[in-house]
Chain A
Amino acid sequence: MDGEELTEQETALYDRQIRVWGAGAQRRLSKCHVLVSGIKGTVAEFCKNIVLAGVGSVTLLDDRLVTEEAFNANFLILPDENAYAGKTVAEICCDSLKEFNPMVHVSIEKGDLSTLGVDFFEKFDVVVIGYSSRATKKAVNEKCRKLTKRVAFYTVDCRGSCGEIFVDLQNYKYTKKKLDETVECELTFPSFEEAVSVPWKPIPRRTAKLYFAKRVIELFEETEGRKPGECSLSDLPRVLKLKNELCEGNSVSENLIPDSLLERLVSGKTEFPPACAIIGGILGQEVIKVISGKGEPLKNFFYFDAEDGKGVIEDISH
């Protein structure tokens, strides 16, 4: 049903994880093609995880040149200036990732994510966008949704010690074991655009504050023409002003979003490595789950904040 069996080499290498998810899932993983764009610490962790897991291929897209700050939380880039000078983040990470699992095809793609056409994305089963603007995420998500083939779409963002994962699987069918029988389930995911523009008033009060805080920062960066992550403490007053405007516009109290949280996000230019490991790990698990078709996927946001240590799933849609 799933094609050829695993080779002896694969069985030996993947023994411990086959005992977790089964040989069928392992075979499906080996046929899966993943696109990853915008590589910082968290995405580097994610790439490491799926390469180790044995996906078919990983295509890296990040044309930024390597600078000293690039290897702050990214262990795929070695601090050897001779090696990285003049190279892009994708190129260096590609070389490192190949070493983790020679059975995975790791390559790079050059170009601006927002200008690539719909047919480009058809090559992939999973698209993961890291460091990127809201507009780009929206554009890519729309292209993925245009394809007849279902492409799993993820965004991931970590600032300081806070992280957000967004998932769009469109219409997703999966199997779940309930008591003794296997049940078929289906979930419908909202698009990225839909999910980030849900009116705030009807959203339950106990929803993770990070959802709202991220939307404020996103909008701030967009209106100010900033590169993603390019904020600092000096922006805080304007960010808070924007927050108040948004709250008013949504008819909710300003107290919905603690100022301290926004302060942490604007000053969180560098990623906190433990948070990268955690968020990259959760993302890795989710992608593996979706590829293997087993188990209930996360819908549709995941938040982690090292401050309270909780890793929370929020289901946010119209």
Chain B
Amino acid sequence: MASQQQQSAIKGAKVLMVGAGGIGCELLKTLALSGFEDIHIIDMDTIEVSNLNRQFLFRRSHVGQSKAKVARDAVLRFRPHINISSYHANVKNPEFDVDFFKQFDVVLNGLDNLDARRHVNRLCLAADVPLVESGTTGFLGQVTVHIKGKTECYECQTKPAPKTYPVCTITSTPTKFVHCIVWAKDLLFAKLFGDKNQDNDLNVRSNNSASSSKETEDVFERSEDEDIEQYGRKIYDHVFGSNIEAALSNEETWKNRKRPRPIYSKDILPESRSQQNGSTQNCSVTDGDSTISVMPSLGLKNPQELWGLTQNSLVFIEALKLFFAKRKKEIGHLTFDKDDQLAVEFVTAAANIRAESFEIPLHSLFEAKGIAGNIVHAVATTNAIIAGLIVIEAIKVLKKDDDKYRMTYCLEHPSRKMLLMPIEPYEPNPACYVCSKTPLVLEINTRKSKLRDLVDRIVTAKLGMNLPLIMHGASLLYEVGDDLDDIMVANYNANLEKPLSELPSPIVNGSILTVEDLQQELSCKINVKHREEFDDEKEPEGMVLSGWTQVPATNGESASTSNNEKPADVTESSSGSETASKKRRLSEIEPSNHKKETENVESDDDDIMEVENPMIVSKKKIRVE
């Protein structure tokens, strides 16, 4: 394949890589070996120990350093005469504007989050630069090519948004372990150790009229000389005991549900530990706050081991004590970090006790950490394969081999004898609001919802805009930027707090908004429809955005569809009901039946969101024919 024409196309190419992690390391290496001589690479992260099992350009001694820079240095060792420019920065920074992107012949993504992918997609469209996208999880992976006007853009098919759970499921009626994790992490941990000024739903819906919220606040406040052990037990009893009893008093809730049982510390841990052996000094303390841990002192060595209720309770109390004893200064400022050992221990224990209460199966620390930390499982081989496929597509792009572009799926189990399955890209989706400028429809209660809700939940979260601007007709309602003067900023802040119908230019049923991001050069129209009521469970955000593509999420359906099944379709095709606009070009594969293959899944926590890798093929795959 190394024809003269190909070699010169490669040699003269200027390539941008976004991401220097799992895929990035493999990709940079393969690009360099293939003859590329001008490579730019952006990555905002620094190297961690858990990267070293696959990001082979890094060594233990590099932990803490910039991935982009170390990757560059490592590759220059075996290709000293090529040009690699590294940027230790966030690709969303304003310096990476359309003009920046325009200088490249092709952009290659090796990212791990949806947000950044969408941002790069828009910049590539604006700059009219081809984009090769990719993603891997475990043994699965895929590579796709996006050329403006010729193929789908990255957003032509909806990617699943991060999984959110209804508040009441988390606070009152959990049924899955992940619900307990979210409770332990975002409510309890946040309440005890996080910002006190943050709203917290921890005690919501307590039906007990006798407990006023003031009283509840007092429970979590620890007075200066209050014994830590006693405080710990008080918290334990409150959240696992009296809160549960309070919830039980609401008969309606439990009519069709299994009742939880209240758990009190005196029943599980009759003797106080500090009475047993003196003090918390026994807990292991090593250098650095994030390595403080209670497990060793409790004889718990194996993070994969399942702890019983007693052990979990011990960990809960001891971890809480250790936070107060050794990390007092951080209390009130902490957010959960999966690399914070003590936080992980605490959250695991808390989630498990709650799970016990609701008869949900318990999980090991290893498993809990994965769920709480949204950890993506990853191996080197898949990344290497995907990197190879990326370079092959990149070369086709440089040679402008239009007919040869492929989307390639790397499967764990062969489909029609294939482990690597290429299919032709699709044409652009005419209903895509990003590349085809189709307007969207927003159903919202214009009298109750504030502009802030619209900005946070729609413009930033759903539309993925970084520096948005919102206009209603000629009226500029909101914008973000460095060059705004104080009066404008004050004006916008005031607008944020107003219900839509009370804005200077009122937004009511039938209003059309224009939402733009100048950096992404993306402009959308939103048709607003007023609606009074929203279902708390099904529409927890109180608003519904629709109108782009109707197709079910294809890649990366991942787990969120455990019940309402839409087959995650590797070959994405003609299941008939799909919008007719999804015309595929000449297809190499004609999928006939879609028989779902029941996958060999390790974990049965089906709705663990792997939202950070929506590119990957779902574990429930289609056996083509």
Contacts and interface: CB of A to CB of B under 8 A. Distances in A.
B520 interface: no
15 contacts: A16-B54, A19-B377, A20-B377, A53-B380, A99-B59, A176-B600, A274-B387, A281-B380, A281-B382, A302-B419, A306-B392, A309-B392, A309-B408, A310-B422, A311-B418
Contacts of B410: 311
A202 to B, nearest CB: 18
A281 B384 contact: yes
A12 interface: yes
B49 to A, nearest CB: 5
A313 B417 CA distance: 5
A277 B30 contact: yes
A264 B75 CA distance: 29
Interface in A229-287: 264, 270, 272-278, 280-282, 284-285
Contact of A304 (B34, B139, B420): B420
B56 A310 contact: no
A16 B50 contact: yes
A177 interface: yes
Given A13-B49, A160-B2, A75 B29 contact: yes
B378 A49 contact: no
B385 interface: yes
Contact of B413 (A53, A71, A296, A314): A296
Contacts, number: 169
Q: Give the residue among A13, A278, A280, A288 with the most B Cβ atoms within 10 A.
A: A278
B380 A19 contact: no
A275 B388 contact: yes
Interface in A50-86: 52-54, 71-73, 75, 77-79
B33 A313 contact: no
A72 to B, nearest CB: 8
A17 B53 contact: yes
Contact of A12 (B33, B49, B78, B392): B49
A155 to B, nearest CB: 18
Given A17-B53, A313-B414, A313-B418, 9 more contacts: A15-B53, A16-B377, A17-B378, A49-B380, A177-B601, A274-B392, A282-B419, A310-B421, A313-B419
Contacts of A19: 138, 370, 375, 377-378
A274 B388 contact: yes
B304 interface: yes
A52 B422 contact: no
A190 interface: no
Interface size class of B (residues with CB under 8 A): 35 or more
A161 B382 contact: no
A48 B385 CA distance: 13
A71 B387 CA distance: 19
A71 B78 contact: yes
Contact of B384 (A23, A45, A100, A304): A45
Interface in B232-257: none
B419 A17 contact: no
Contacts of A114: none
A296 B597 CA distance: 15
A309 B384 contact: no
Given A16-B377, A160-B2, A281-B384, A311 B420 contact: yes
B474 interface: no
B30 A310 contact: no
Interface in B284-315: 301-304
A199 interface: no
Interface string A163-182: 00000000000001111000
B419 A22 contact: no
A198 to B, nearest CB: 17
A193 interface: no
